[in-house]
Amino acid sequence: MLDYSALAAVGAVIREGSFERAAFALGITPSAVSQRVRALEERLGAILVVRGQPCQPTDLGRILCAHLDRVRLLESDLAPDLFHDAGTETTRVALKVAVNSDSLATWFPLAATAFGQSTGIPLDLTLDDEAHTADRLRSGEVLAAVTADAKPVQGCRTFALGALRYAACASPDFVARFFADGVNAEALSRAPCLRFDRRDGLQRRWARETLGIEFDAPTYTAASTHAFLDLALAGLAWGMQPVTLAEPHVAAGRLVELRPGARIDVPLHWTVARLPVASLRHLTEAVRTAAHAALT
């Protein structure tokens, strides 16, 4: 049987990043937090927390924290009035969700707002590329994810949401400098492009599917949807922009599509843990409703 007070201390250290902040969150001393964590590690015969700035969970620590989150959700769903009256930390547990930056900058806020207003339950959002958010779910780090990965995840259900549409855009000045003779392999190899992170292959996918070419160009990395758009507007580089964000700028002449109408879709899915709790059901309904209204 797990010692849940000790496991709560482990979870607080991971969530807050240090023993001192965990102690403040739990209302006990840092020494007490350290003793609880050490006692559980000794009982299990394994390290659960890698001490550092910030503290990080080991694989076993991450699994146990995910288990604790699930237990708290089940408890609060079974007896919300009891836990609310008791004033325990259970009522403050946020639903952990992985979401890609472009969804968070476009349609997902509608889902989060609808869910928050109807339930009052907070969300703990983790940003990652849509091709890798499902890995956060597989590791137990989150309970649900907006993902481009349609592969089944054990213990989860997956719903198709629709597709987020992208257009290859740059500023008019940038197009005049690099694509005066058209968008071709030579021009793309010279023209700087944007990428969200090193795993982002959307720009190369567009060139491959639209023009049938591969290219290797100077690349700027910007792990922010709005920074991605701002850098393109400033004329630094070209990149794949969510159509809903780019269209007003294209209409106003601040951006130009490299190939007008040549757009690509990224299908998105909602993968959520199979837990019999109302909060996950309500969140799923809010996400599917918002996606139906906004996605292709």
Give the global pTM. 0.80
Query: How does residue 139 score in pLDDT terms, banded at 50, 70 and 90?
Result: confident
Cα dist from 200 to 43, 84, 163, 180, 215, whole Å? 43, 44, 17, 27, 14
pLDDT at 182: 93
Tokens in use for 46? 């394994």
Segment 186-208, tens digit of pLDDT:
999 999 999 998 889 999 999 99
Give the separation between CA 268 and CA 160, rounded to whole angstroms.
Answer: 6
pLDDT at 81: 55
Q: What is the mean pLDDT of the chain?
A: 91
On whether the CB atoms of residues 95 and 283 are closer than 8 A, the answer is yes
Residue 296 has pLDDT above 80, yes or no: yes
Residue 86 has pLDDT above 80, yes or no: no
Segment 97-129, tens digit of pLDDT:
999 999 999 999 999 999 999 999 999 999 988
Give the separation between CA 40 and CA 48, rounded to whole angstroms.
Answer: 8
Strands (E), 7-76: 49-50, 56-57
Residue 252 has pLDDT above 50, yes or no: yes
pLDDT at 77: 72
Query: How does residue 75 score in pLDDT terms, banded at 50, 70 and 90?
Result: confident
Residue 84 has pLDDT above 60, yes or no: no
- Least Cα distance to 200 among 100, 126, 117, 276 occurs for 100
Domains of the chain: 1-93 (1.10.10.10), 94-296 (3.40.190.290)
